[in-house]
Amino acid sequence: MDHKLYIHNTLSRKKELFEPLNAPHVGMYVCGPTVYGDAHLGHARPAITFDLVFRYLRHLGYKVRYVRNITDVGHLENDSDAGEDKIAKKARLEQLEPMEVVQYFTERYHHNMDQLNVLSPSIEPRASGHIIEQMAMIEDIFDSGMAYESEGSVYFDVEKYNKQYHYGKLSGRVLDDLMANTRELEGQEEKRNPFDFALWKKAQPEHIMRWPSRWSQGFPGWPLECSAMSARYLGERFDIHGGGMDLMFPHHESEIAQSVAANDTDPAKYWMHNNMITINGQKMGKSLGNFITLNEFITGDHKALERAYSPMTIRFFILQAQYRSTLDFSNEALLAAEKGLDRLMKAWTTLGKLSASDKSSVDTASIRTNCYDAMNDDFNSPIVIANLFEGARIINSVNDKKESLSNEDLQVLRETFSTFIGDILGLKQEEASSGSDATVDGLMQLILDLRKNAKSARDFATADKIRDDLTKIGISVKDTKEGADWSLNQ
């Protein structure tokens, strides 16, 4: 840990030297997904960003406790205090128990994270498993005078809080301006002002997920979940709180207010926010119809996709931008990422076969130094990648006998590649996506022919079993006009 790591802190709006509260221990909390649908590109970015942070802190020798939650209750539509719970709505539409929806999409999320080589967090708490902690926190907020009850629901009194503290300090907003620009929303009459947010919501008769409390049969508010779970596992004050920029206001702002009211402290020393991904310059959104799930990327099954892209291509594409920059998806950008990744991985393979010369014609230690400098400068992965490309150029030149490397320099380069590509960027070699091995191709053709015969004989059970069993071992089958295509999932 002789490295000086600088992290851009959203709170101070500048890069600060990273000094953990209790080194070598580091506590990091990241807002995880609300599991009511498949993960898309917008989920991949925070997951990969904070995976990079997690991996690098561990590489530096810190003992990191990384908590990333699963929101399984209380996240209402439009992120407001009105509207239906996102998971309950999905359950109603699919005629499922809400926890069936949660289980199904949590497993699919985990599968996608594995494909992207995102490490599991140390703890992955679910909001519904921490109702007691959330109720206790509401009581603490009551004690501070910042909560009030209305019609069985409990709200946070933002105006009162703001008289003593600054509600909006993370996003740099000022409450008076916010109040002037907010209209009264329907169903919000029970609040003292539209900015108050729910700590506890009384459940409507049709609302399935509910718990008894002294206020009403109800459920907790979304920001409260993160406050209670982070305090439970990391303490009232911890090192890093992360999430997407879209969560900064009001979700994270509310988390700060709750912790200050209940625990007399800002929850996190460093707040980190990854920027958003746009699609062809447009914001991503369900209503805009440009949502592309990770599964669709991997199978290529979406009208906006010219073809399938491997999970490592998606990971590399995301790491090619610094996490605080915007990142625009296009087929061209992904194709370029795929090419770049291929060049880097081929060079890494070549590196293993190079033999040393008596002396070096090029310097490799500077590549390692530059990679560390870039990571220490707020996790600047694109600069790391640029330096690795310089390494790849040297590798290819040495391979072509145009340059030479001493044994020592060769070892430095090997160590740099394995540390930065493998351990820190978390990139791994992928098999060719459609099996170059003739034997595998032949076998797959045989299996797909058997499935086709089953389908022609209207034996759909067998056809489905073949497809499902192939999926289980990581081979996805996609029906096409000509028959069927297959690809290996990583």
Q: How far is the CB of 105 from Zn ion (least distance, A)?
A: 17
**229 vs 345, which CB is nearer to Zn ion?**
229
Query: In angstroms, rounded to a whole number, what is the distance separating the alpha carbons of residues 90 and 405?
Result: 59
Amino acid found at 270: Y
**226 vs 272, which CB is nearer to Zn ion?**
226
Q: How far is the CB of 33 from Zn ion (least distance, A)?
A: 10
Please identify, among the stretches 120-128, 195-203, 218-226, 313-321, the one whose residues bind Zn ion according to the rule CB under 5 A. Answer: 218-226
Could you tell me the CA-to-CA distances from 196 to 24, 135, 363 in Å, in that order? 38, 18, 59
Q: How far is the CB of 110 from Zn ion (least distance, A)?
A: 19
**167 vs 348, which CB is nearer to Zn ion?**
167
**35 vs 427, which CB is nearer to Zn ion?**
35
Q: How far is the CB of 404 from Zn ion (least distance, A)?
A: 53
Site size toward Zn ion, by CB under 5 A = 2
**48 vs 127, which CB is nearer to Zn ion?**
127
Please identify, among the stretches 220-228, 293-301, 390-398, 451-459, the one whose residues bind Zn ion according to the rule CB under 5 A. Answer: 220-228
Binding to Zn ion by residue 257, rule CB under 5 A?
no
**125 vs 218, which CB is nearer to Zn ion?**
125
Q: How far is the CB of 10 from Zn ion (least distance, A)?
A: 14
Please identify, among the stretches 221-229, 297-305, 375-383, 406-414, the one whose residues bind Zn ion according to the rule CB under 5 A. Answer: 221-229
Helix (H, G, I), strand (E, B) or coil at 200: strand
Query: Computed over its alpha carbons, how large is the radius of gyration of the chain?
Result: 25
Is residue 115 a contact partner of residue 155, using CB atoms and an 8 Å limit?
A: no
**31 vs 35, which CB is nearer to Zn ion?**
31
Residue found under tokens 């340059």: 403
**246 vs 373, which CB is nearer to Zn ion?**
246
- Footprint of Zn ion on 301-340 (CB under 5 A): none
Contacts of 392 (CB under 8 A, 6+ apart): 343, 344, 347, 348
Q: How far is the CB of 249 from Zn ion (least distance, A)?
A: 12
Binding to Zn ion by residue 170, rule CB under 5 A?
no
Q: How far is the CB of 345 from Zn ion (least distance, A)?
A: 35
Q: How far is the CB of 80 from Zn ion (least distance, A)?
A: 16
Amino acid found at 338: E
- Which residues make beta-bridge pairs with 273? 243
Contacts of 335 (CB under 8 A, 6+ apart): 306
Q: How far is the CB of 352 from Zn ion (least distance, A)?
A: 43
10 Å Cβ neighbour count for 42? 19
Binding to Zn ion by residue 226, rule CB under 5 A?
yes
Could you tell me the CA-to-CA distances from 48 to 97, 103, 245, 335 in Å, in that order? 31, 22, 14, 19
Cis amide linkage into residue 382, ω under 30° from 0: no
Rounded to 5°, the CA angle 221-225-228 comes to 130
Helix (H, G, I), strand (E, B) or coil at 28: strand
Contacts of 17 (CB under 8 A, 6+ apart): 4, 5, 6
**222 vs 309, which CB is nearer to Zn ion?**
222
Is residue 274 a contact partner of residue 326, using CB atoms and an 8 Å limit?
A: no
Could you tell me the CA-to-CA distances from 100 to 32, 87, 127 in Å, in that order? 18, 10, 15
Binding mask 12-31 for Zn ion (x = CB under 5 A): -------------------x
- Which residues make beta-bridge pairs with 476? 487
**226 vs 477, which CB is nearer to Zn ion?**
226
Q: What does residue 18 show for φ and ψ, rounded to 5 degrees? A: -80, 110
Amino acid found at 120: S
Q: How far is the CB of 107 from Zn ion (least distance, A)?
A: 21
- Footprint of Zn ion on 30-49 (CB under 5 A): 31
Q: Of 28, 65, 40, which Cα lies nearest the Cα of 283?
A: 40
Name the site residues for Zn ion (rule: CB under 5 A). Answer: 31, 226
